[in-house]
Structure 1
């Protein structure tokens, strides 16, 4: 429920509650509220009656309901209509058709039900004929379901049965009005069907191109975020490392980062090859672990020095002397002196 509050001065400027404009004279008084309905004696106090006023606000054109008070006797004429409130609360309302019961003489002839003047025809939908046909079909199916399943709240009494029949007749009347105002799709030619198919294809192609553009933009933003993350990580590691690293460890970490940069520089297709980004991230993580791990002093570090591959002269094992497991080769230009 939408509500709003106005000041007493604003209510007086609109003419609330007794100086409102008539709906017929609305254009002549654009600054006044338009009175739509007034319901008196909705509540009663000791010296005042409680009344409801429905009006259309001049600033936003919406319909609101406000409660005001009126003195019951001549001595209470000076009673405050807003009950001494600093702000006046308004509640937005809308018109709704309701079913009422009338009492007639028992045994007399019951007058036939007549359509009320408040029933409005459903506006004719806009769009192609196929869409209009689908709307009409759904409306008729809703009416059939309403008649077939009245709901668990309907009890076995004459009043509830009359209410259900009245609602069904109202819905069928709106369907009839819609049937007379909407354009029928009968007799469609192949040209009309082809035109409809072309419009659907064009709209689908445009939506596909828009989706591809959004996907490309998101991939570019993701790549930029990855570069920013790696740059921030590199700067953070450089700031955290204060002691001198061993040349072999620094060279290995540098090789890891260079390999990660080469992987990121390759054209990537995340749909068919999602493992490239994971490989680059793993290499950077290994470089970070090497740079932050506890390292022995450079003068106490002894290399294995074994030749890894006789065919590649100058490639020697850079692991500590006496290590277990396979050798770790290092390039001659990265090997420490």
Structure 2
């Protein structure tokens, strides 16, 4: 049962096992020809000039898989893509990281990768919004933009000699406030056309980082947050009580943020992919059952989510 460590009753164990078996049967029918385990032979139909890629080996003239995963083919190249793997950055990936160091002309971010990522001062939109060369004054004011422990959204720029570099040259990137940062296995977040989502009915923003970091926070309009942060920082001492109250997130919004965060925790524990459709389905299920937020982490809700997902995939397959 995927190694789930849940305090389940015997009835709940049977229900959960039946739901997971149904999900596995549905997925195996789709990937039965492509899925392989260690030592499985990979059929190449006696093609000439086949290139052995990652996860394959030539044993006695046969192409054999050396890890569990899905067989992928790119022209003559044959390789096995692992189903469960650590994050491997690609140019253009949307990632979320936490600032761990502010150094000379750069920030270092922890992004759930084998090494910290680098965000250069020159790869940022400046707070004044003017395109210009960075000066010594800009370098001295770096902490007014990001400081240690800030959560930042950025885009993978590529690898350079000193490591993985990020960039944040758009208003949608920058510091994330008023929300929760969650960590899930990176393989559960598939690369999609859209990683930014606005759950309008809840007033919540959802950012699915390709590196397994997911942000759930209060919705903010598309604007340059860095300008606001600097203005707020300089006027903090003179701000009135009414102005400071505007910085607080409404109680109802905070409840929806916690509900969405618990939905992600449930899906992560069950090993389901993180998509907007599935996350919204779990939130709606909890609301339809009138569950309190903390009750979403109870054993019964895990079973209900698994059963609902099995039902959804089964119905979507029948529609095809």
TM value normalised by structure 1: 0.17
Choose between structure 1 and 2: higher strand proportion. 2
Structure with higher Rg: it is: 1
Q: Which has the higher contact order (CA 8 A, sep 6+)?
A: 2
Choose between structure 1 and 2: higher helix proportion. 1
